[in-house]
Amino acid sequence: METIAPRTQVSNYLSLVTFSHTIFALPFAIIGFLLAVKLGNATFSWTLFLLVLGCMVSARSAAMAFNRYIDRDIDAKNARTATREIPAGIITPKNALWFVILTSLAFVACTWFINRLCFYLSPVALAVILGYSLTKRFTALCHLVLGVGLALAPIGAWLAVTGVFAWLPLLFSFAVLCWVSGFDMIYALQDESFDRENKLNSMPVLLGKKGALRLSEVLHVCAAVFIWLPVYTHNFGVWYCIGASLFSGLLVYQHTLVKPNDLSKVNRAFFTTNGIASVVFAVFVILELFWPL
């Protein structure tokens, strides 16, 4: 009989923060960084690039661990989330909180070594990404707050390189805001009944499953618009158009997977489709920047 090896503490903490979901925003941070290098005429620095990646990983890890810590009692009541590390007793609340503190300090430390602007803005970024976990207790706009948190990736990476604001990375930030908010509403469909019974706020609770799906569609149309705008504002060419087409097509595809009366493919729509969309789009943006046709 085959035995399953016990999970290590490292794998427990990676699972706590669902590390694989880093794939959503990380490609857009890389896009913001490389846009700044190429269009801002900056010299590529591996040290700076690794510091930006360190910011992304540490900030997201802090946000996810705080979400699991602050929602531990809620997760324990929900059959879908009761097996998560804290309610299951795999990681103690105290250790999870220490993990939040350490990863938050790591994020601030990375910004210190990047530039003073990023360092001064780091508490604002932490307030947004940590504060998201509290929002479903008082507003159905919680999905938009999550979108804002991940939308910091491209503009943050741009600031790391240039130290100044610009419109181009903001277009990508607005795209991420709409994209993430939309697919988070799809993911929240799974907990509509639970959230309603426990007086938690979400768009599925406020609008119902059908209404939340329609709003998600609107947000994803807006995301596609922001993805396409650089073609007109900065004359991006063939590679970029291919990437934008694939990204837009995958947005449409995920809405064919989920119906108000059939949520069996939510995870496929949420993780697989969106993960592929961000990575594929980043690849074609990089081709456009460094090997244009």
Give residue-wise pLDDT tens across range 207-243: 999 999 999 999 999 999 999 999 999 989 999 999 9
Distance CA 239, CA 229 (A): 15
Walk me through the domains of the chain, giving residue ranges and CATH numbers. 17-290 (1.10.357.140)
- In the chain, the percentage of residues whose pLDDT exceeds 90 is 82
Residue with tokens 């794939």: 23
- pLDDT averaged over every residue in the chain: 93
**What mean pLDDT comes out for the span 128-156?**
96
pLDDT > 90? residue 85? yes
Single pTM value for the model: 0.94
Task: Tell whether the model's pLDDT for residue 287 goes beyond 60.
Answer: yes
pLDDT for 5 equals: 47
pLDDT tens, residue by residue, 148-191: 999 999 999 999 999 999 999 999 999 999 999 999 999 999 99
What does the block give as tokens for 262?
A: 């059939």
Closest CA to 72 of 58, 56, 93: 93
Length of the chain: 293
- What is the three-class DSSP state of 259? strand
* d(C-alpha 54, C-alpha 41), whole Å: 23
Cα–Cα distance, 20 to 14 (Å, whole number): 8
Measure the CA–CA gap between 83 and 79, rounded to whole angstroms: 8
- What's the confidence (pLDDT) of residue 272? 83
Residue type, 22: T
Stretch 78-107: mean pLDDT, rounded? Answer: 95
- Tokens found for residue 26: 């990380």
Residues 49, 51, 53, 59: what is their CA dihedral angle, to the nearest 10 degrees? Answer: -150
pLDDT for 20-35, tens place per residue? 777 788 999 999 999 9
Of 2 and 282, more confident: 282
Angle formed at CA 140 by CA 260 and CA 137, multiple of 5 degrees: 120
According to DSSP, residue 20 is labeled G
Kindly state the helix (H) or strand (E) to which residue 197 belongs, with its residue range: helix 192-197
Under the banding of pLDDT at 50, 70 and 90, the label for residue 193 is: very high
Res. 105 pLDDT band, cuts 50 70 90: very high
Q: Is the pLDDT of residue 71 over 90?
A: yes
Q: Are 125 and 156 within 8 A, CB to CB?
A: yes
Q: What percent helix, strand, coil does the chain show, rounded to 5? A: 80, 0, 20
Query: If 0-12 CB within 10 Å is exposed, 13-18 middle and 19+ buried, where does residue 211 land?
Result: middle
Element (H, E) at 267: helix 266-267
pLDDT at 2 over 70: no
Asked if 44 contacts 157 with a C-beta cutoff of 8 angstroms, the reply is no
Looking at residue 24, its pLDDT comes to 81
